[in-house]
Amino acid sequence: MKNRRVMRWSRRNDINQETILDNIDCTQLAMDDQRFLYVSDCQMHEVRRYQMGDTQGTVVASGNGQGNHLNQLYYPTYLFVDRDQSVYVSDTYNHRVMKWVKGATEGIVVAGGRGMGTDWTQLSSPNAIIVDQLGRVYVADLGNHRVVR
């Protein structure tokens, strides 16, 4: 059974807790410099951005259901948000990492995207991602037991 919620705890103690989002299959959270919260929803196949206090959010990646087109995701998991509010998403079952520039209606494949495999141009269930200050993308390629850049 899943809890299907995002909770916030006080820094001072773990007694004061608050459910800030519910009815969501959240797999990853990220926060940008302006305190927007980004949430990947693996069942809706999308990423939403929330202002504190907002419960609806704004779709920033996909929002077009499950699929493999550039405007779709298939089981989004890990997230990274850069200084420009571009969102990088591990598109797990499409075996790719997508970059969604702020305001874009389609993503850009920045890693993988050539089917599941072991070649250096392929990924197998990409997991954690991070982008350095030079824009280089690092991916924990779970199915291939490696980290790729």
Structural domains of the chain ordered from first start: 5-148 (2.120.10.30)
Q: What is the pLDDT of residues 107-141, one digit of tens each?
A: 999 999 999 999 999 999 999 999 999 999 999 99
Q: What is the pLDDT of residues 72-95, one digit of tens each?
A: 999 999 999 999 999 999 999 999
CA distance 112 to 139: 10
User: Per-residue pLDDT for 1 more than 60?
Assistant: no
Q: What is the pLDDT of residues 2-53, one digit of tens each?
A: 788 888 877 777 677 888 788 888 999 999 999 999 999 999 999 999 998 8
Q: What is the DSSP letter of 9?
A: E
Beta bridge partners, 9, equal 17
CA distance 30 to 50: 11
The predicted model scores a pTM of 0.92
